Amino acid sequence: MTGTRSMQNLALIGFMGTGKSSVGRLVAQALDFTFVDTDQLIESRAGKAISDIFREEGEPAFREWECRIVEELAGCQKTVIATGGGLPVNPANLASLKSHALVVCLWASPEMIWQRVRGHTHRPLINEADPLARIRELLAVREPCYRQADVLINTEWRSLREVAHQVVCQFHLAQAAHR
């Protein structure tokens, strides 16, 4: 990788259940960076849970929250940003992240994602009669967006620590290439 990209932050994108928040915390610790999670920021700004935003205001209102938070994060430094699974589907959000961060996508198969998120009730998009079918459908639609990340890491059969280590290595490589 060469060029003049600004790489002062690191953004993790990827589908629900790929470990963005858990891996992000480990990576932030390893790099001595601040950790932020866009879903948590939205919940604290909105004063309610994501599932309540979806139920009371609808998905478009949630997506507007995501855009506002992404704009705000463009000013941060030395920060690891874990994003909500649907956030990079908006090209403007992805472009903004790429303007200041290395964008790393964490990947897993629909079956593995389902294993990891089953039993969780706080994800409105998969609270459906056939969640696995919904995961397959959403993942297929989103795959082209996730593939626009700078780095794609398969999280299947790897521990959170192993994935975090890979992310840190990729970040150091990218920083060296863009120095």
C-beta separation of 120 from 21 below 8 A = no
Three-point CA angle 54, 58, 62, nearest 5°: 70
Selected binder of ligand S3P within 5, 48, 123, 136 (CB under 6 A):
123
Stretch in the footprint of ligand S3P (CB under 6 A) among 23-31, 99-107, 119-127, 154-162: 119-127
> Could you give the string, one character per residue 37-76, with x where binding to ligand S3P holds by CB under 6 A and - elsewhere?
--x----------x--------------------------
Site for ligand S3P in 82-111 (CB under 6 A): 84-86
Selected binder of ligand S3P within 30, 124, 152, 178 (CB under 6 A):
124
Alpha-carbon distances, residue 137 vs 36, 48, 125 (angstroms): 28, 28, 11
C-beta separation of 82 from 22 below 8 A = no
For residue 16, state whether it binds ligand S3P (rule: CB under 6 A): yes
For residue 19, state whether it binds ligand S3P (rule: CB under 6 A): no
What is the edge-to-edge ordering of all strands in the sheet holding 151-154? 34-37, 79-82, 9-14, 101-107, 151-154
